[in-house]
Amino acid sequence: MRKTPLYNRHLALGAKIVPFAGFEMPVQYDGVVKEHLAVRQNTGVFDISHMGEFWVRGPKAIDLLQQVFSNDVSNLTVGQAQYGYFPNSSGGIIDDLLVYRTQEEEYMLVVNAANIAKDWNWLVTHNNVYGATLDNESDNIGLLALQGPNAATVLATLTDVDISDIPFYHFTHGTVAGIEKILISATGYTGSGGFELYIPTTSLWTVWDTLIEKGVTPCGLAARNTLRIEMGYCLYGNDIDDTTSPMAAGLAWCTKFTKNFVNSKNLALQKKEKTTHRRVGFVLTERGIPRKGYSLVDADGNAIGLVTSGTQSPSLGKGIGMGYVKREQAAAGKTIYVEIRNKRIQATITSFPFYHA
């Protein structure tokens, strides 16, 4: 198992460590609910340095990315980021990721830790046709997610960058806590606003320690999971994977058919003809916590789908989840049931997000 550069910091703060995506990662410090609510109401910081970072450079960079990425990177200006995914040739998803346009002919890709090798091989294979310059900098770049409604206030005390001048899904470079050339990105996966800071691994501890000294709550993977579920965001390996149709997953919004890309013709046909199943959210109307793999059934007990993610929502005080159900069962407001320990627990299908600030 690998460790991020902050591993000893997590131990010193009393974190419970678990294996995740090949790394020993903090799952919680003082409790999931406390950390979750810190992000919803104040500010929390996550060490997500296990994520991967690739650079794609040169005059052919955009051609390579347009072929392998679902979204349209030609719409990106320098200083802007974009969400999308790598489609595979069989209709599934290799990974979901962010693309940052850092210069006219330079892009940074941020991929999931468990998929670093798979994503890298996919890029290299397709690059044989294009000849862009590729660099895997995953081991040299650390990543902190400073999230919550007060994140901008905290960060403003540590940098001379005008934080309020960075629009959502845009970024700039600047000095934070005395460390230069940090990429400051107005992004995150919590739904409570904030920033993601890309920092050289050799300086990561300086920024982390400064944030903790400022009173920012350290948060683990468990709170990151409950926060993203409340927003209805997908987690690779749970809600999407190599076999998942991005159209069924609700990712048509970041799939641009104005260009040709891997498997685009088949995905366009899926969008037109509709998939047999759809990813939906649901809220339990009885006590219970849905978990990945639990069956979803109709009133007669007929199987209609499976739970892919679920939790007890700290913000709502209810069990919430998402999963794939047959399209005819996917309408908001419809009653379904989750099978929990041989009991059918009633739930209502709802639209995303579950949580509204």
Phi, psi torsion values for 307, nearest 5 degrees: -75, 135
Q: What is the pLDDT of residue 357?
A: 82
* β-strand partners of 143: 198
What CATH number labels 52-136? 3.30.70.1400
Q: Which residues of the chain have pLDDT under 50?
A: none
Tell me the domain boundaries of the chain.
2-51+139-231, 52-136, 276-350
Q: Domain 276-350: which topology?
A: Elongation Factor Tu (Ef-tu); domain 3 (2.40.30)
pLDDT (0 to 100) of residue 186: 98
User: What's this model's pTM, rounded to 2 decimal places?
Assistant: 0.96
Q: CB neighbours of 138 closer than 8 A, spacing ≥ 6?
A: 51, 52, 53, 54, 116
* DSSP 3-state of 82: strand
Kindly give, in sequence order, each residue whose CB lies less than 8 Å from that of residue 117, ignoring residues fewer than 6 positions away. none
Structure-block tokens of residue 181: 């050339």
Identify the CATH homologous superfamily for domain 2-51+139-231.
Probable tRNA modification gtpase trme; domain 1 (3.30.1360.120)
pLDDT digits (tens, 9 = 90+) for 208-244: 999 999 999 999 999 999 999 999 999 999 999 999 9
Query: Environment class of residue 30 by beta-carbon count within 10 Å: exposed (0-12), middle (13-18) or buried (19+)?
Result: middle
Could you read off the pLDDT of 52-99 as tens digits, one per residue? 999 999 999 999 999 999 999 999 999 999 999 999 999 999 999 999
pLDDT of residue 356: 92
